[in-house]
Amino acid sequence: MIPIKVYASSIANLSDARYFAAQGAEIISFQLNASTSIDQIKEIMSWVEVPYFALEIEDLQWSDDLFEKISTLNPQIIVLPLLWKDNKEFGDYKIMQKVKWGNTVEVGPIFLLETALKNLSIDDLEKLSNAHEDVYIDTNIQPADLDILKDYAPNVGVVLRGGDEIAVGVKSFDELDEIFDAM
């Protein structure tokens, strides 16, 4: 088990999903918009096991198409975008909100914080770690940053992303391996 929670964001291929699942990611997330192929996401979800699957809504308002895709994929978590204004009820799904550091918007117990790690003081990290159920920092995390999180924000996770495959089923995970090794 890795000591820092990992949110694998924007997964678009089975190689990434299998890699993050094998590394112990807590959440694997897929982007959800009008052009999303739910068949591809469904297939990827059937091949990997993780504690949580999430759908990151990219549209800024509710539509029946979104509801249909969410219902078909049945994730445990729905991630709302930064500028989400719709008060739509999501039933029993856990809701995660994207926020920017310094934003005065009320946030729920779980959220994605988009900021550079250098914008957060040790005090800020400790407060985030103690005040919320789940916080994931969405930044360009480097292996050297992980010691700070382990020491001062043990309950704060990180957002990591895969990337494009060189060919179907072929890709390099060297940069991600460095981050996981540092954990």
d(CA 90, CA 69): 13
Reply yes or no on whether the pLDDT at 39 is more than 90.
yes
Q: State the pLDDT confidence band at 104, using cuts at 50, 70 and 90.
A: very low
Q: What is the pLDDT of residue 8?
A: 96
Give me the residue spans of the domains in the chain.
6-182
Select from 3.20.20.70, 3.60.40.10, 3.40.50.300, 3.40.50.720 the CATH code of 6-182. Answer: 3.20.20.70
The candidate with the shortest Cα–Cα distance to 52, out of 7, 13, 89, 91, is 7
d(CA 163, CA 147): 25
Residue 100 DSSP SS3: strand
Do 132 and 109 meet the contact criterion of CB atoms below 8 Å apart? Answer: yes
